Structure 1
Amino acid sequence: MVLLRLDSLALSRSRFALSPLAETLGAVIVLSRPCTTPWLAAWHARHHAAFRARLEADPFARGLVMLVGATKYLPDQVSLPPSGGMATTLESELAEMAAVPDAAVHSSLRESLARSWEEHDLDWLTGHGFAARTADLFRAVWHEHLAADWPARRALLERDVTYRAGLLAAYGWPRALHRMSRRSAWVGADAIRFSDRPGPDRVVGPDGMLFVPVTAPRGTWLCEAPHRPYALVYPARGVGQLGEPEASAGRGERTGPEGSRPDAAALDRLIGSGRAAILRALERPATSSELSVLFGQSLGTIGGHLAVLRDADLVSRTRVGRRVVYRRTGLGDRLVGVGGGGAHAGS
């Protein structure tokens, strides 16, 4: 069992962050395999052939991707902790990746090879500039397979952070980290179980940790680099929304008689389909900006709907840091339950 042992200051200084690089790594792993996740099937079908063609044309890319998808130790250059918090950019991460020396890349790849559960070799590791070539691959994957979906993915990731930040403020880190992954769990008063496999524990110093959500459906990994906080990457809640047919029009929003749910019609008629959709979406707390991206509507439109819902005591708002987070009230939960949308806010 591998534990992340936190010192006395680590908890107070731990925080959430986003990482386009981690999101790209998750996409690389998903595209390298047959798709077994229903809500990613359409995206996988659109991009898989082009991704495979790229690998077939580039032995370095193919060897790296096949190894990354079948090892318990990710190469260091693809698992760097993000340095920009919630505003981390892909280009800043790729610049750090490209600067990793060839000797360090080679050593890390050999460690990955030793801990792979499939037969591999490093015959594809020829030439030089390994980290820069890796950065070029990740940049291409981002622009060809992820960039168009990033606003929706980012909104989902921010909602996960909002949800966990609310739990953190109310209950502390153990509750905020609950069910972050299948294997992670809070152990005792000062440790996080990262893996149930054998391995050395890590000590988290006074700079704390980063917790980084991604839309990959499974898998958790630890990012580490000298003189940087550890970053625990984990699957975000609610990633199934990415594959729902109505996601582009707004989760739960009616698009006509064929797109509406019979059991939701009463709530739609009562408060309007737009406000009903927002009320259903607030099963997980969200900011107005996150709702704007989710529904593809202006902040003014979303703000008007939220004002009406607040006046009716169906939603409330609280400030979490610099963000104003909206959540359903008990009355809102009961009304959605009558309308068929589920009544377990934040569960």
Structure 2
Amino acid sequence: MIVLRFDTATIARTRLAVSPMLEALVWLELTVQGRRHPVFGDPGPRARGALGHPDVALLADLQPPGGSGYTADLLTPQPRAVPPEDLLEAQLADLEAAAQDEVELQVLTYAEAHWGRPVPPRVRALVESGQLPRRAAAGFARFWQETLAEDWPTLRDALDGDLARRARTMATHGVGRLLGTLHPQLTWTGSALVVDKPYAEEREVHDRDVVVAASLFTWPQAMVQVDDPDQLVVYYPAASIGTGRGPSRLAEVFGATRAQLLADLDSARSTSELATRHDLAPATVSYHLRALHRARLVVRNRDGRHVLYQRSTQAEALL
């Protein structure tokens, strides 16, 4: 168990946010490990292709061997209290500005201790030269643009919806109720947050910011980052992910238009047919179908002069 004991000043400084960097990191981990997300599926060829860039490959080198274990918290800076459109840039700037002693501690000491082996020589050389934060930030920016940037507004809408519900809980019942209802792995005792993990750790958290961050890609797990007391974040999976069936639930994740199109693709249909059925411009339908195809949620086949789209097996599991 991880036990985080909060003083009253810390409770008063608890706030809600999302972390684009955390979403990118989890998507990267899935790509490196060759795994599918249980809800969002295969990261896809663009994510795998991004690993060929040297700065993205550096981030791959910073992932734990074997696909589970410790990842340096400095890669996911605590989200700042800034406008949503500035959040990713603020996190990238904070990573690039990471203190050298913290980089050495987390990458060379913590990672090697948890992994049971040295970090790759290239990683050590970049740490010792002080270049790792800058290169890692560049890798995140590249991976983000290749994989998540286009769909982030839709994903962000799903996260914002969950945060709004949590904010109502906090406003009506207080911070304790918020912390105690985030996830089955998280328990609020009245003075401490207890995290159900297979190792023991206790921290006294005095007069610090605590960010409670909704996440899509961490589903179904809750997570905490505690390496740096100034960067404490509690991540929980948004409640709408992986639960319920039907287009209304999919709309919370993919947006109403894509959810409606997906629900209508039980039979193979063309772009023009879908445009007519949903009173949309063909270009709009094509845009959404391309996104659904990249996400492996639709398959397409040519029938003479027409391209027909139909839900994939993966999409059937979501409906």
Does residue 1:109 correspond to 2:112, yes or no?
Answer: no
Does residue 1:47 correspond to 2:49, yes or no?
Answer: no
Instruction: Report if the CA contact (8 A) 1:31-1:47 is conserved.
Output: no
Deviations 1:53-95 (A, max 9, x none): 347x9763431134595323x3142132122256352111111
Find the aligned partners of 1:26 and 1:242 in 2 and give their Cα distance: 26
- 1:91 alignment partner in structure 2: 89
Tell me which amino acid in the other structure corresponds to 1:162: A
Instruction: Report if the CA contact (8 A) 1:14-1:209 is conserved.
Output: yes
Find the aligned partners of 2:263 and 2:199 in 1 and give their Cα distance: 54
| Structure 2 residue matching 1:147: 3-state secondary structure | coil
Instruction: Report if the CA contact (8 A) 2:155-2:254 is conserved.
Output: no
Find the aligned partners of 2:11 and 2:168 in 1 and give their Cα distance: 16
Distance 1:157 1:66, change over 3 A: same
Find the aligned partners of 2:238 and 2:18 in 1 and give their Cα distance: 11
Find the aligned partners of 1:193 and 1:94 in 2 and give their Cα distance: 30
| Structure 1 residue matching 2:195: 3-state secondary structure | strand
Find the aligned partners of 2:20 and 2:264 in 1 and give their Cα distance: 38
The Cα of 1:161 is off from its aligned counterpart by: 0.7
- 1:20 alignment partner in structure 2: 20
Distance 1:68 1:113, change over 3 A: farther
Find the aligned partners of 1:252 and 1:224 in 2 and give their Cα distance: 39
- Alpha-carbon RMSD across the aligned residues, in angstroms, is 3.6
The aligned runs of 1:157-172 (5 Å cut-off) are: 157-172=159-174
Does residue 1:79 correspond to 2:76, yes or no?
Answer: yes
The Cα of 1:154 is off from its aligned counterpart by: 0.7
Instruction: Report if the CA contact (8 A) 1:113-1:120 is conserved.
Output: yes
Distance 1:94 1:69, change over 3 A: farther
| Structure 2 residue matching 1:15: 3-state secondary structure | strand
Find the aligned partners of 1:223 and 1:85 in 2 and give their Cα distance: 22
Instruction: Report if the CA contact (8 A) 2:215-2:236 is conserved.
Output: yes
The aligned runs of 1:164-183 (5 Å cut-off) are: 164-178=166-180, 180-183=182-185
- 1:31 alignment partner in structure 2: 31
Instruction: Report if the CA contact (8 A) 1:67-1:112 is conserved.
Output: no
| Structure 1 residue matching 2:234: 3-state secondary structure | strand
The Cα of 1:236 is off from its aligned counterpart by: 1.8
Does residue 1:221 correspond to 2:214, yes or no?
Answer: no
TM-score (norm 1): 0.62
Find the aligned partners of 1:208 and 1:130 in 2 and give their Cα distance: 26
Deviations 1:249-292 (A, max 9, x none): 447647897669xxxxxxxxxxxx99xxxxxxxxxxxxxxxxxx
Distance 1:200 1:81, change over 3 A: same
Tell me which amino acid in the other structure corresponds to 1:180: L
TM-score (norm 2): 0.67
Deviations 1:223-245 (A, max 9, x none): 5546x362212222223489959
Q: How many residues matched?
A: 257
- 1:290 alignment partner in structure 2: none
Find the aligned partners of 1:18 and 1:257 in 2 and give their Cα distance: 31
Q: Share of identical aligned residues, percent? A: 21
Instruction: Report if the CA contact (8 A) 1:80-1:224 is conserved.
Output: no
Tell me which amino acid in the other structure corresponds to 1:77: L
Find the aligned partners of 1:203 and 1:62 in 2 and give their Cα distance: 32
Tell me which amino acid in the other structure corresponds to 1:148: E
Distance 1:101 1:67, change over 3 A: farther
| Structure 2 residue matching 1:32: 3-state secondary structure | helix
Find the aligned partners of 1:258 and 1:140 in 2 and give their Cα distance: 33
Tell me which amino acid in the other structure corresponds to 1:62: A
Distance 1:181 1:35, change over 3 A: farther
Bigger drift between 61-70 and 157-166 goes to 61-70
Find the aligned partners of 1:237 and 1:206 in 2 and give their Cα distance: 29
Deviations 1:178-200 (A, max 9, x none): 4534422112x211112433333
- 1:269 alignment partner in structure 2: none
Distance 1:247 1:223, change over 3 A: same
- 2:296 alignment partner in structure 1: none
Find the aligned partners of 2:73 and 2:240 in 1 and give their Cα distance: 29
The aligned runs of 1:140-289 (5 Å cut-off) are: 140-178=142-180, 180-187=182-189, 189-216=190-217, 217-219=219-221, 220-222=223-225, 225=228, 228=230, 230-240=232-242, 244=250, 247-250=254-257, 253=260
